[in-house]
Amino acid sequence: MLPDGERIPVTILYEPVVRRTDAITLEPFIEVFHDVYGRMRDKTQHLDDVAAQIGAVVPGWLRLSLREPFRGSFIVSNRPRVENNGQVVAIGALESDNGLFLPLAVMERLLGEKYAESEGQARLGGLQLAPADVLVYNAQLFLRGGLIAAKTGRGYFYDELQNAVQLALTRLVVNGTTVAYNSVFVHPELGPLVSADDLARALGATLRNVSPGIVLLNGQRLNVHRLGTLTFVALTELRRVVPNFTWSLGHGALEIVTP
């Protein structure tokens, strides 16, 4: 609609339900865009037809959810999707009698470790793997999801209703080396916050409390947030002492490069 109230036709340039393929696992999935899907008359049949192409069944709860407005898009897949900090990182986790298995590339990226085999022994970084920890499917390697807890102390939640493996994993990286896991807290309002104590240790810096909301990091005055007994630094403040860093929500990695 134009400012003067005149209505003009608009052409939608993308489909309401799109079939895609995951770049890591090559698993097919479909993405439903509400702003277009909500305007369709035969939406239920169209969704079923596309889902059938990938062997997925649209559950009843999802049909009800799709009747209501939602932001962005929704994913429907046959195998579970993997989410970290609310971001989809891959489609196609595997379920087996030994639990859930995640794609090797996802495990390496989330943990900051490399998989290697030597003399018949498999390792993920410094973690020795048992035969039951590794699964081969369609010529791809998958690792047992329980290894995440063994490495980081924080596991995953498998939401069968959402068909999603949900994680809240973060790691602090300095000059390419992971120095701590779970040091970054993704606050719903303040955004990513890094533990002041872990940050000081990682940088080899001194940390001194000045007041409830202020610390000195190597003499640099920083505003901080107190959450319970812990002290956190927002990324806007971090940039005052470490100008060169990147943050990836999906991979949970705060990567700092020092001079």
**Mind listing the pLDDT tens digit for each residue in 74-124?**
889 999 999 999 999 999 999 988 889 999 999 999 999 999 999 889 999
Instruction: Say whether both 183 and 251 belong to one domain.
Output: yes
12 located within any domain: no
Total number of residues shown for the chain: 259
Pair of tokens at residue 62: 């999802």
Range of the structural domain that residue 251 is part of: 171-256
Distances (CA, A) of 62 to 156, 203, 221, 255: 23, 47, 50, 37
Residue with tokens 């997925």: 56
Last residue of a domain, one of 131, 157, 183: 157
| Whether the Cβ atoms of residue 238 and residue 194 lie closer than 8 Å to each other | yes
* pLDDT reported for residue 153: 92
Last residue of a domain, one of 104, 130, 157: 157
Instruction: Say whether both 131 and 73 belong to one domain.
Output: no
* pLDDT reported for residue 72: 74
Instruction: Say whether both 147 and 111 belong to one domain.
Output: yes
Strand-pair category, 121-124 with 127-128: antiparallel
Residue with tokens 């340039």: 13
* pLDDT reported for residue 36: 53
* pLDDT reported for residue 6: 61
Q: Helix (H, G, I), strand (E, B), or coil: what is residue 248? A: strand
* pLDDT reported for residue 1: 43
Quick one: which H or E segment has residue 60? helix 60-65
Can you list the residues of the chain whose pLDDT is less than 50?
A: 1-2, 12-13
